[in-house]
Chains A and B, each alone.
Chain A
Amino acid sequence: MSDAATPSHSPAAAARIVEFAKQPLVVALILVAALLYLGETLSPGFASGQQIMRLLIVAALLGIVAAGQNLVVLGGREGIDLSVGGVVSLSAIVAGNLMAGENAGIPLAIVACIATGALFGLFNGIGVTLLRIPPLVMTLGMLGVLQGLLVVIRQGIPSGRAAPGLADFVSQPFLFGVPGILWLWVVIGLLMAFLLGRTVFGHRIYAIGSNEQAAYMAGVPVKAARIALFVLSGVFAAIAGICLLGYSGSSFANVGEQYMLPSIIAVVFGGTPLSGGKGGYTGTMAGALLLVILQSILVTINIDESGRQMVFGITLLVLMLFYGRGRSMRA
């Protein structure tokens, strides 16, 4: 350690390269490349441009849900949002019903869905902070409520359809031959990087995630910040729900449930430990991509559903070994 007279902003270059290679983001990207190669070997055409575009669209849906999950996890104190799946489903149904296949309904649908997501996020946030219910319990309970609400809505009103504009946005080339949802994902990625790295709010998220009491003593509005994280999680889930409607054309039962636990896995694969306080969204994006490619490879190889699930489960476990294993108790 040198004296204060020679401050620099980053570690030495050699150590930097080692650190770089160990970063979860880099690990995830290397794995993504390896899996693409594996997929191409197993089934030629797997890594074709069109296929990759399709994979990216699916990854974007998961990645957007995982953005909110990522924030909640970063905020620490066992932060987790199990209700995202419910919000995705609800948002897809609300959007479908409001736009009912008409482009004119899109703006209203977007506003309504985001407001709905924010509202449920707010409930979660209030429960977790003001009532101090553990996040797992609060969001688990909320998931039950959302699932109940889905039943009510689906039986009361006929199921809606996606507006053609929305469907095109998700699946058709939008700009430079790339679908709009991918642009949206890129924008969300940039926004998240900016939020976490260049705003006071971002620094506060890390602070409460790594030492809540110290953050409180340093004037961080801990409760407000944590409520904001849950609200954002609801909003991102709602956005994903709208996109999911565009992807599948019409909303059907519990479409969002498939995102609940995978969004957490994507966060973990992206290098944000569930204990919070460190990590970021770039890694999570790679984590989402990794998961989607993995699932897609399992679909291309010719085994039945049971074999696919077993291989998937084991692969997840093996991949987890690459990431943050807990510290040994013996230092």
Chain B
Amino acid sequence: MIKLKLNGVSKAYGATKALSHADLEIEAGEVHVLLGSNGSGKSTLSKIVAGSVRPDAGEILLDGKPVTITGPQSARSHGIAIFYQELSLAAHRTVAENISLASLPSRAGIFVDGDALEERAQRYMALFDGVTGDGFSLDAVIEDLRADQRQLVEIIKALAIEASVIIFDEATSALDRAQVERFFEILRALKQKGRSIIFISHRMDEIFAIGDRATVIRDGQIVGTKRIADTSPSEIITMMVGGHDETDAKAVEHHAPTGAAALALSVKNLGGRGFGDVSFDVRKGEILGFGGLHGQGQSAVLKALFGAAPPTSGSVELDGKPLNPANPRAMIRQGVAYVSGDRAREGVVTGRPILENVMPIHYLRDRMILAHPPASARKALPALQALRTKFAGLGFPISSLSGGNQQKVVIARWLIDRPAVLLLDDPTKGIDLSAKADLFALIRKLAEEGMGIVLYASEDAELLDNADRILVFNGGAVRRELTGTARTRYNLYQAAYEAA
């Protein structure tokens, strides 16, 4: 039975087509996976169904009848719930309050019925009993919770609506294994009850573990739908990537520098918030990988080395000279570069032209006072072209670019004046495959030209394909070093989990 049907749903943001003529059928009692690289239109589609984005064209049918969804409230009343990737929680409210925020139980229609509120929250929180971790309670304030716990609250919030269609947009990204398994049990139970679930994830194993059917979206268009049982990860990846096959990352060769190469960066007993006693060397021409489970201190070490969250102990040497990572400004001047994966927060200067997004590092390193756009453009263009950045003009706002191209602009900043050390903090988060390929090709080239590079990647494949040496982090410390032929997925997993 078809529960939800989308006919020719389209949405454009300015000139960018986020979704064009999407047709989709979701059955009752199935987990329907949506797949596609970031910016392919999955989230737009989800938000249209959930009412928070207004479609330009197309119709939505529930149980065969066309419905008009005028907003999130109206979607709820039609029995549609959504887990938002970016979460929709009120930071200073409690868990119980957040769970029922939009449908607060009331006395006399005016007062909050505290008992009912707690009873309701309790009932749904019980679903995750035993896997929530410390400090997760009815009256815990969201602000004080860990990322995985916040994600659980958002999941519970979506479940508590008791909707017949539930959308989970990357609901597992911060969860640990036990939490994911429990979540999947809940999803299976919902399936039994005939609920329809739209499930968005980048993790292939999860998709094959929970999905019934999968629909692939590319560049805002539906590519096709497959039964999970009849397909394979490689077929799905082929659909996602489309005709041009530029993703064979394994072809990247490794040129581990000889032991004689000079040290670019030497870190001894570095300690700070979220890590301690970290020591390592980076040679010129080397790509050093940071691996391990998410959030084990890799980002914290890189941010510390860049001075964004200065270390509290230990010593750092750059090119044999002692370095004090006091703030990013000082580090930039010394020749340390840092690229954050959190583009929206720490990378792009939103709303400003591309040119102004490329230049700040050069302004600083050249101690410039006056900005001369034509001269700046002459410096910016080669840097952007080195990354095969696609853009219409330097005067266009950076927000007119796709995620991958925005990240290329952010990286191009560092190419005008070459730094000695490049720190990459999960730089490919949420960018498309071809942009990733361009990025890693450039990184290898920079290494070959003598730069020392540290790469933290949350995707193991990226790490294994690109790093010459991998330090596996756990609990804020380096637990293992993988070199040469030891750089295997098996070893990486083992090192990441065993010491936990």
Contacts and interface: CB of A to CB of B under 8 A. Distances in A.
A190 to B, nearest CB: 15
Interface in A208-248: 210-211, 213-221
A3 B401 CA distance: 12
B190 to A, nearest CB: 27
A221 B329 contact: yes
A7 B372 CA distance: 17
A207 B349 contact: yes
A278 B241 CA distance: 37
A220 B352 CA distance: 15
B395 A198 contact: no
A317 interface: no
A210 B352 contact: yes
Contact of B371 (A202, A215, A216, A331): A202
A277 interface: yes
Contact of B388 (A4, A203, A207): A4
Interface residues on A, range: 35 or more
B351 interface: yes
B351 A278 contact: yes
A330 interface: yes
Most B C-beta atoms less than 10 A away, residue of A210, A211, A217: A217
A199 B71 contact: no
Interface in A7-44: 7-11
A214 B350 CA distance: 9
A206 interface: yes
Nearest to A206: B352
Nearest to A8: B393
B52 interface: yes
A219 B360 CA distance: 7
B369 A200 contact: yes
B371 A198 contact: yes
A215 B327 CA distance: 13
A155 interface: no
B53 A330 contact: yes
Contacts of A8: 392-393, 395
Contact of A210 (B15, B351, B370): B351
B277 to A, nearest CB: 26
B373 interface: yes
B395 A11 contact: yes
Contacts of A1: 15, 390-392, 400-401
Contacts of B394: 7, 9
Contacts of B373: 9
Contacts of B395: 8-11
Contacts of A218: 328, 332, 349, 360-361, 364, 413
Contacts of A77: none
A11 B332 CA distance: 33
B396 A216 contact: no
A199 to B, nearest CB: 6
Contact of A11 (B308, B350, B368, B396): B396
Interface of B: 13, 15, 47, 51-54, 71, 306, 308, 328-329, 332-333, 338, 340, 345-352, 356, 359-361, 363-364, 368-373, 377, 381, 384-385, 388-396, 400-401, 413
12 contacts: A4-B388, A7-B377, A198-B371, A204-B360, A211-B348, A211-B350, A215-B349, A217-B346, A217-B347, A218-B332, A218-B413, A330-B53
Given A199-B370, A217-B347, 9 more contacts: A2-B392, A4-B389, A203-B356, A203-B371, A211-B348, A217-B340, A219-B329, A330-B51, A331-B53
